[in-house]
Amino acid sequence: MRPGLDQLLQRDVGPFALLAALALVSGCGGTEYSVSVTFDPPELAASARSVSVSLARACPPAGAMGQKPPGPLRSVEVRRGQEAQPLGPAEPGRYGLHAIAMNGECGVVAAGCTVVDLEEGEGRTLTVVVREATGEGCSEGESCIDGRCEPAQPDGGGPDASQPDASAPDGGGTDPDAAVDGGPDAGADAAPDAAGDAGPDAEADAGLDAGQDAGCDLGDPSIVGSLAINGTKLDVSGTHAYVAGWWEGLRVVDLSDPADPTVVGTAVTPGSAAAVALVEPYAYVAAEWGGLQIVDVGAPENPVIVGSVATPDDALHVSVAGSFAYVAAADAGLRIIDVSDPTDPVEVGFEDAQYALRAYVSGAHAYVPNSWTALRVIDVSDPANPTVEGSIDVTSPWDLAVVGEIVLQATQSGELRIIDVSSPDDPDPVDAIMVTDSHFAVRVYGSRAYMAIAYEGFAVYDVAEPTAPVELFRLDTPGDAHDIGVTGSLAVIKDWKGTLQVIDLGCLAP
């Protein structure tokens, strides 16, 4: 069981008081660590108004030190003089402990990261030394409030107090994939909640050209239903959505009445359900330290775990093609698992030269982004002997979708990179377009790409010519759109703060 954290450990760190608590999970007990931030030189602290501390899979490269890590496992932010929330629980292992200090205008003034080994035993103080650094401040859709980026409000107010704090230790915490995504064809991720003032009838939010999709009413797409539910990743099929609900396991949501989505079934998984891929009648769940869990969802009201296989590191993302599941297992790389017998899955091959954030499969190749620098193309035609065939440098790769011989690679900076993989040994960058200013999810259905674009809601692009995507529509949604799936005329969006939104796509359905 995960230990509770009832009190914040705190001490003065130079002129800036900040210390967060971190609990190491070990059986039913745990080891508590304290986390401190030290400025080098100390004078840097004078300009710091807030500090964000994150527990991530690894430290970023030096050139990305001034950026928040992608998909941190845990994160807490505190202003000068305020108490921080607990950083939350973590499993034993090696992590990157990253800190960013911002000034009163939310400009990055210092950053640093240290590698820490969390082990059972006596707790200690983990210190992150931050040095002068630069980086972008608040994203679009956020306001700088006393040195802290807060989701903007329609009336210009502060953050949405009605939403729970994603940094609080809720057992799921920040998305570990966080960095992770599920579904055979896609992925995605994002950050805290933001409210907006747009709507389906707001022309400012719609990018549909009158010459495109003639006859399509701009007011067609609209939010028709919502549901409070944990988790950030989902897959959809027919009248059901399958949500990876962190510590709550796999949640099955009935969409037969789009105005009233309802949880009808739950399968509590070992580990934390981080991503899901559906190949009926089975849902394949990447459950972090619980490895791969296979759930029979033939009876949606009674999902049952029928098989599982351990992975050497956390299972962050999963895709399924044919009789194989492809699991992104963090530092253990890509793991290939024979699921021809769902009750007895067996690992048959792996490629572990680099960290694996996601795993997407198309034909004989798996497309595996790491968290920081590259997209790798892996030949999986022989599942027992996967080999890296090619790679391409991509700054902060995140989610992707494959359209024929084109990869649409979403990055953590909001860019959509268009990559020609017709020669897998030599991926060729074709173009890049800015979609938003944060990481986002992309799914392709037919000739359209549907994107969950964090604070900006969701967008639809025409990808009939995948090398030249054309934006058709945008809709601001409550919360922070983190993942998206489309079934029939419905788009289902999972936001970061714990809400599922159901959108009637109208004439923008696939």
Question: What's the rounded Cα separation, in Å, for the pair 178 and 34?
Answer: 23
pLDDT for the residue 154: 53
Q: Which residues of the chain have pLDDT under 70?
A: 1-31, 60-63, 70-71, 81-85, 94, 120-123, 136-141, 146-148, 151-220
Backbone angles phi, psi at 508, to 5 degrees: -95, 10
CATH 2.60.40 residue window(s) in the chain = 12-137
Q: pLDDT tens digits, residue range 164-184?
A: 343 333 333 333 333 333 433
Question: What's the rounded Cα separation, in Å, for the pair 453 and 83?
Answer: 31
Q: pLDDT tens digits, residue range 359-375?
A: 999 999 999 998 778 89
CATH 2.130.10.10 residue window(s) in the chain = 203-508
Name the CATH topology of 12-137.
Immunoglobulin-like (2.60.40)
pLDDT for the residue 63: 62
Structure tokens belonging to residue 280? 């009926």
**Residue 482 CB contacts under 8 Å (≥ 6 apart), including other chains:** 175, 188, 189, 190, 232, 233, 441, 452, 454, 493, 494, 495, 496
Q: How far is CA 160 from the centre of its chain?
A: 21
Q: Are 480 and 495 in contact (CB under 8 A)?
A: yes
pLDDT for the residue 420: 95
pLDDT for the residue 18: 38
Tokens 């694996």 -> residue: 356
Q: Are 173 and 73 in contact (CB under 8 A)?
A: yes
pTM assigned to the model = 0.61
User: In CATH, what number does 203-508 get?
Assistant: 2.130.10.10
